[in-house]
Structure 1
């Protein structure tokens, strides 16, 4: 059973999603549908969107869109795919042992990894935290500086 994820191409659409997603984690995947790593991640996101729907909303953001560049610059998205998390319009950060706590760079290796990360962010957000620890073991966290250079 496939679950179609909304694709946002305008700044106003992203702003609206951020503002209107209340008491759920908003998962925004920044990337392009022509990129193989993005397609891998999109597959995981689409397959898990229904499972996490009680506590998360998932949307794709097209980094090729001119209007989206303001977010690409703001979140310093140099590598794709990059996934950014929000809760009640607040940017949620995650310490995954990498230098960048603002976003998840790369694809999730399996569906359960994505579910675990979103659950950890949701639980932390419900406790008022703005940063949570990554629940995944280090070997399942992408080493993006080597693998995900944008060509």
Structure 2
């Protein structure tokens, strides 16, 4: 299913999608297509993307790409998958019940779980940080 979502492998692609996604939540999944947890998350993201298309854009970021390492380091991606949210080119922080408020680590169990998180971020998008 992940083949239905845009996969970014270059820093410039990530820069562009962050800059150009306006008035929508941008969801970037950092991980690798060969990881089983990433594949499970990708399935949830793919099933949700169409339903959320009016208020969210979803893309996958390949952490094995050399050019992406600047983002891997910047966002301290040590566990995969890690999902990062943006609105109008601003990184959105969130409280997911962990000490790390910069990203969602792991998968979502159900499509509705993911949609609920994105809807909350969309409703709080005027605030760069939602906790």
The aligned residue for residue 74 of structure 1 is: 74
Hey, what's the Cα distance between the residues in 2 that align with 1:97 and 1:111?
19
Gaps of 5+ in 1: 134-151
Give the structure-1-normalised TM-score. Answer: 0.84
Q: Residue by residue, what CA displacement relative to the aligned partner does 1:31-58 show, whole Å, maximum 9, x if unpaired?
A: 0000000000000000010000000000
Bigger shift: residues 92-101 or 18-27? 92-101
Hey, what's the Cα distance between the residues in 2 that align with 1:49 and 1:2?
11
The aligned residue for residue 89 of structure 2 is: 89
**Counterpart contact for 1:3–1:47, Cα < 8 Å:** no
The aligned residue for residue 119 of structure 2 is: 119
Give the paired residue count: 131
Gaps of 5+ in 2: none
Bigger shift: residues 3-12 or 99-108? 3-12
Higher RCO (C-alpha 8 Å, min separation 6):
2
CA RMSD of aligned residues (A): 1.5
Moved over 2 A (4+): none
